[in-house]
A and B are shown apart, each in its own frame.
Chain A
Amino acid sequence: MKGLKIAMYGVLALSLILITVGIVIGEPGDVASKATFVCMECIGIG
């Protein structure tokens, strides 16, 4: 039980760290730059 709780808080902390690192290096901008154009391959035209 204790192990599960530690894992839960560990993953929570890891997720927040990853999000923060991603924001600092400008990854949301990368995501938006891809997602604001039609992905031709995704829709089957590529």
Chain B
Amino acid sequence: MKRKKRHLIQAAAAILQNGYLAGFFTGGIYRGDGKHICVPGLNCYSCPGALGACPIGSIQAVIGGNSRDFSYYVMGLILLFGVLVGRVVCGFLCPFGFIQDLLAKIRSPKPHIPDKLDRVLRWNKFIMLAAVIFLPMLITDALGLGTPFFCKYFCPAGTLEGGIPLVIADEGLRDAIGLLFFWKVSVLVAVIISSILIYRPFCKYFCPLGALYGLLNRISFFQLHVDNHKCINCGACERTCKMGVKVTENINSIECIRCGECRNVCPVHAITITSLASKQAASKIKDAKHSS
């Protein structure tokens, strides 16, 4: 799939998930039945346009509430999205991923992150994932309510999609702005600037949802496959991959956001989309193992 087509799908997904346009003018949020369901990507439910609930926000809200210790429903939905398509969600459906894709298009020097530092930083998203699940359980206030650590102190999507539009539209909220808001805007500015310089830094280093979907990439129905009989080892796929995936070695890596750029540049069409469920895919992967 060509890059333009992917961006069109990303734009459509962002609009579909944030289709309550009235909210942007009134400073209110959508309160309908859609909020019973979590969307697959990171999309703050306090965004005035949000028609569904953010899975990370929901998991923290449910675990942090005083009635439940674990969020079966939200975790089940995340696992379902992940096992069906893995990080296709990151490449095609996540509005914050789309914003980072657009920011990366701004012409600027693109510094190379040293490989060692890059490898260490990538573990950070798993720390974030652990924090999302465990901190609201472990750190509670006098009423037994957990703090939504990730949403409160870090999530730049919440600030961009929820905080800023609501503060612009609602005078009462403007009066309530304090230190926390300035901290969150600073995090957002840092993420925006780094997204211009580095491709998808939030997805690579911080996103707990990307971490979970990444873990499921290897066992999702959606799989990419490199045909070793066709591959001429030209390296075009690895040079074009902005997520730093070693395509010929591990195409279904945790880091692959399934954008399909490697498929686009392969001169011999050695990269194909398959399903782990199909018998054909099984034999393909078996063949690839034998020949390598």
Chain A contact residues, CB within 8 Å of chain B: 1, 4-5, 7-8, 11-12, 14-23, 25, 27-32, 34-46
Contacts and interface: CB of A to CB of B under 8 A. Distances in A.
B75 interface: yes
Contacts of B216: 11
B80 A31 contact: no
Contact of A32 (B53, B77, B159): B53
A41 B181 CA distance: 9
B65 A42 contact: no
Nearest to A18: B76
Given A31-B61, A32-B33, A38-B29, A44 B73 contact: no
B152 interface: yes
Contact of B80 (A15, A35, A42): A15
Interface string B5-43: 000000000000000000000000111010111100000
**Most chain-B Cβ atoms within 10 A of its Cβ — which of A12, A19, A32, A38?**
A38
Contacts of B148: 39, 41-42
Contacts, number: 165
B76 A16 contact: yes
Interface of B: 29-31, 33, 35-38, 44-46, 50, 52-54, 57-58, 61-62, 65, 67-68, 71-77, 79-80, 82-84, 147-148, 151-152, 155, 158-159, 162-163, 166-167, 173, 176-178, 180-185, 216, 218-221, 276-277, 282, 285-286
Contact of A38 (B46, B77, B220): B46
Given A4-B218, A43-B162, A45-B181, A25 B72 contact: yes
Contacts of B73: 18-19, 21-23, 27-28, 31
Nearest to A6: B219
What are the 6 closest A-B residue pairs judged by CB atoms, nearest first? A22-B73, A18-B76, A43-B163, A19-B76, A15-B79, A44-B184
A42 B158 contact: yes
In the complex, which of the residues A7, A20, A28 has the most CB atoms of chain B within 10 Å of its own CB atom? A28
B72 A5 contact: no
A7 to B, nearest CB: 4
A28 to B, nearest CB: 4
Given A5-B277, A42-B162, A43-B159, 9 more contacts: A16-B76, A21-B73, A25-B72, A27-B74, A31-B38, A35-B45, A35-B50, A43-B184, A44-B181
